[in-house]
Chains A and B, each alone.
Chain A
């Protein structure tokens, strides 16, 4: 492991977070589907949590949320709180359950979109923003969640491609390390090394 390997993941995640927010603000938010626009940020945070674990997920969520709040001139801390929950929750889900099904990112993406949409709305209400609670709001929330679920899989694939090779226990990396150090399979690794 080269000395620069420890910085690879943070650097890639920083670039990913920056690009995500910029693309979200400049392009994705301006495209509406059934009257709502998709929000890629919680999907990316959830994907990072799923791939990198709870701690990187939470930190990434905090950073992306703070950046979103800064860029959109919103109340600082609101999106950070929500994204911390999303990143940490996705990471813990992966750590505790170790899901292998191919559709897990879809379910996690839907939950992330729901937490983001509903949580943001609730927090805005709590902060005193007066908005009419109507069936239209409910409809938009449901459509946003469905849209998030639809986009979750491609977003997950993209995020995996970006962080591939820089994760601490990346399968490719494990295989490569085992091959170069004498053929130890992941199952044969001593538990103390985890």
Chain B
């Protein structure tokens, strides 16, 4: 009797296991349109109204358990957010203090002409413009060598860089604008890293400047300020003094930055409507030359256009 029970038990167990394995193998090897899948879909179809009814009926139970879980989660989240808020408040306070300090320092620098205290600022009137700024973008001003103007002097307007004096006569000078096709300015983008690049006008739209040769992974954002980089070596000085505002970033496309290493910059000075400019007349150290990066060597020559 006992042996019979054992044999029966084992037989049933083996049968169940074999059936399961057959089902598994058959189902696994079948296509979605096969009989087992069809049966499964039929069962699901039959069960779906029951499941829907049960789901509605058991919703209060789910909500009850969910309420406990949500409450615990909300409390944890609240604590995390409180800690985050406190941390951010501290950061904001620090940032505000830094901002205030920055403004004060900026104002001080403005008073000192952005560190240009060694330069004499001479305000001059624009007396002429070339008709076609696509080929040559220059201005003619009413001050020359007789007024202490030199070739290579930087020219500002509206607080931003306009260009440099490229030609000097005794009474007038010619200013080559930063939008001139031959112009190249070494610049620094005031992003988080202070990335350096070269600013050149884009072909066909001189007012659209391109800051090129920037790092591919530079984190440059819209409206970042671009200033002159300025450099000084034993034999060569930059044409422009450092930290003179040049423009604002108007387009910083990561793809363009990645592929062409450039962003678009709009000049701060309103180059098309300005009537007066300021020439920075500064001392030139003996034995040193002033250079414009990438613009074909020392700029300009004394003489008329």
Contacts and interface: CB of A to CB of B under 8 A. Distances in A.
Do A and B interact with each other, yes or no?
yes
Interface of A: 22-23, 25-27, 30-33, 54-55, 58-59, 62, 65-66, 69-71, 73, 75-78, 80-81, 84, 88, 127, 192
Contacts of B36: 76
Contacts of A80: 16, 19-20, 23
Contacts of B19: 62, 77, 80
Contact of A54 (B9, B24, B55): B9
Contact of A22 (B16, B24, B40, B54): B54
Given A66-B23, A71-B44, 20 more contacts: A30-B62, A31-B65, A54-B13, A58-B13, A58-B16, A62-B19, A69-B40, A70-B43, A70-B44, A71-B51, A73-B40, A73-B44, A75-B24, A77-B19, A77-B22, A77-B25, A80-B16, A81-B21, A84-B17, A127-B28
B194 to A, nearest CB: 40
B1 interface: yes
A78 B24 contact: yes
Q: Which secondary structure characterizes the binding site on chain B? A: helix
Given A22-B51, A22-B54, A59 B27 contact: no
Interface residues of B, number: 34
Contacts of B24: 75-78, 81
Given A27-B61, A31-B65, A31-B66, A76 B27 contact: yes
Nearest to A62: B16
A81 B10 CA distance: 15
B91 to A, nearest CB: 31
Contacts, number: 84
A26 B54 contact: yes
Give 8 nearest A-B pairs by CB, closest first.
A77-B24, A77-B23, A27-B58, A26-B55, A76-B27, A80-B20, A26-B54, A77-B20
